Chain A
Amino acid sequence: MTKIISIHSFRGGTGKSNLTANVAALLSLNGQRVGVIDTDIQSPGIHVLFGLEEGKLPYTLNDYLWGKCDIEKTAYDCTETLQKELGEKGKIEGKVYLIPSSIKVNEIAQILSEGYDVELLNQGFQQLNKELKLDYLLIDTHPGLNEETIISIGLSDVTVIILRPDYQDYQGTAVTVEVAKELDVPKLMLVVNKVLPDLDFDALKENVELTYNASVTAILPICNEMIRLASQGIFSLRYPDHPFTKELEKIALSLQGE
């Protein structure tokens, strides 16, 4: 059985795409077969982290949702790129496939204006899991709540919600957590990202857990190398020994443990 993991945040720029890409890379390093699907149709971006050039992609998720192709056609094997990024420091035994969304402005506008069949997206998930024999399907999402939420949270085995220590995030996260609970997601994990290193991490963890009545899997500091990397690669592969990578590994491990 494929485990479906959806990654959410109420606001943008929280770190969803970077966390998703890193967790995918780390799971594949542990020998897992991983699919990553960009359901952020309005503002796609995770393909950048995987070094995929949108102009060179014959098919995207949009084409599938328009009935132009099978979902398998939209899955790109990124394992080799990731292996190059890691270099001699390790061997990726698993696989990572990315299903990107279109970055063409007219195609984004078309899907927003015409809508699409959410049920088809659901069927696409199942098809990918089966055809690519995935151990994990990670769903990168658009911030906030929208019509995809009902399937991204609603079909996932684990929902990860990322927030920053910011009061705008706090309020919105409460809404997202509530919806996840209503949708009866089997497992809910919170990750606090971009935390100033001099904050008291234990106190913050306790506070967030109390506020949302959900467990905090990790507290990630703001990280200079991450800012410098600027989404031009996958942090945990580029800096496998960095303390930040150790924290990301904990997240991957706890997802594997679920």
Chain B
Amino acid sequence: MTPDNRCDSSTKGLSLAGFLNLSEKQRKLANWMRRQSICKLRQIKTEMGEEEDQIVKILEELVQLGIVEIAQDEDEPSYKLILASRRKNFQSQQLREKLEKKISSN
């Protein structure tokens, strides 16, 4: 990781570091969900080939981690993976303030 990616601690959504810390099963599910928009529980079951309560358990873990959200307004249980924002970075914030001072004084 390059220094400019050392971020603050707001960790909602899937970040690269967060991804690499997932368990194998969580990662497998996240990998598949990342390439979909909204995923119906039914589709997830087919894709993962596991029992529903197992899958719901993994999904709940991912929801806890802030990586997956329950999709609202769907006619059946559905989930959505969310990506982390590229977070604010303190060092580059300072750099920017300096730059702007310099630009405005020219």
Q: Which residues of A contact B7 (CB under 8 A)?
A: 115
B89 contacts which of A112, A118, A119, A149 (Cβ < 8 Å)?
Answer: A112
Which residues of B from 50 to 106 have beta carbons under 8 Å from A?
A: 82-89, 92-93, 95-96, 99-100, 103
Q: In whole angstroms, how far apart are the Cα atoms of A182 and B89 in the complex?
A: 26
Which residues of B from 2 to 53 have beta carbons under 8 Å from A?
A: 2, 4-5, 7, 13-16, 19-20, 27-28, 31, 34-35
B86 lies within 8 A of A115 (CB) = yes
B86 lies within 8 A of A113 (CB) = no
Given the known interface contacts A144-B2, A145-B1, the answer about A151 and B83 at a Cβ–Cβ threshold of 8 Å is yes
B15 lies within 8 A of A150 (CB) = yes
B83 lies within 8 A of A115 (CB) = no
> Cβ of A53 < 8 Å from any Cβ of B?
no
Given the known interface contacts A112-B89, A147-B15, the answer about A118 and B83 at a Cβ–Cβ threshold of 8 Å is yes
A117 lies within 8 A of B35 (CB) = no
Q: In whole angstroms, how far apart are the Cα atoms of A27 and B19 in the complex?
A: 33
Determine the residue in chain A with the shortest Cβ distance to B19: A150
Q: In whole angstroms, how far apart are the Cα atoms of A149 and B19 in the complex?
A: 11
> Cβ of A189 < 8 Å from any Cβ of B?
no
Q: Which residues of B contact A209 (CB under 8 A)?
A: none
B96 contacts which of A113, A119, A179 (Cβ < 8 Å)?
Answer: A113
Given the known interface contacts A112-B4, A115-B86, A118-B86, the answer about A150 and B92 at a Cβ–Cβ threshold of 8 Å is no
A183 lies within 8 A of B31 (CB) = yes
Interface residue count for A (Cβ, 8 Å)?
Answer: 28
A115 lies within 8 A of B16 (CB) = no
A109 lies within 8 A of B99 (CB) = yes
Given the known interface contacts A116-B85, A118-B85, A183-B31, the answer about A110 and B96 at a Cβ–Cβ threshold of 8 Å is yes
Q: Which residues of A contact B15 (CB under 8 A)?
A: 147, 150
Q: Which residues of B contact A146 (CB under 8 A)?
A: 1-2, 4-5, 16
A106 contacts which of B83, B93, B99 (Cβ < 8 Å)?
Answer: B99
Shortest distance from the beta carbon of A245 to any chain B beta carbon, whole Å: 33
A179 lies within 8 A of B20 (CB) = yes
B34 lies within 8 A of A155 (CB) = yes
Q: Which residues of B contact A80 (CB under 8 A)?
A: none
Determine the residue in chain B with the shortest Cβ distance to A65: B86
> Cβ of A81 < 8 Å from any Cβ of B?
no
Shortest distance from the beta carbon of B84 to any chain A beta carbon, whole Å: 6
Q: Which residues of B contact A149 (CB under 8 A)?
A: 16
Q: In whole angstroms, how far apart are the Cα atoms of A144 and B16 in the complex?
A: 12
A112 contacts which of B27, B82, B96 (Cβ < 8 Å)?
Answer: B96
Determine the residue in chain A with the shortest Cβ distance to B2: A144
Q: In whole angstroms, how far apart are the Cα atoms of A155 and B33 in the complex?
A: 11
Chain A residues in the interface with B (C-beta under 8 A): 42, 105-106, 109-110, 112-119, 122, 144-151, 154-155, 179, 182-184
Shortest 5 CB-CB contacts between residues of A and residues of B:
A112-B92, A109-B96, A113-B93, A113-B92, A184-B31
If A144-B2, A147-B86 are given as contacts, then 18 extra A-B residue pairs at C-beta distance below 8 Å, sorted by A number, are A42-B4, A106-B99, A109-B92, A109-B96, A112-B4, A113-B88, A113-B95, A118-B83, A118-B85, A145-B16, A146-B1, A146-B4, A147-B84, A150-B14, A150-B19, A154-B35, A182-B27, A184-B31
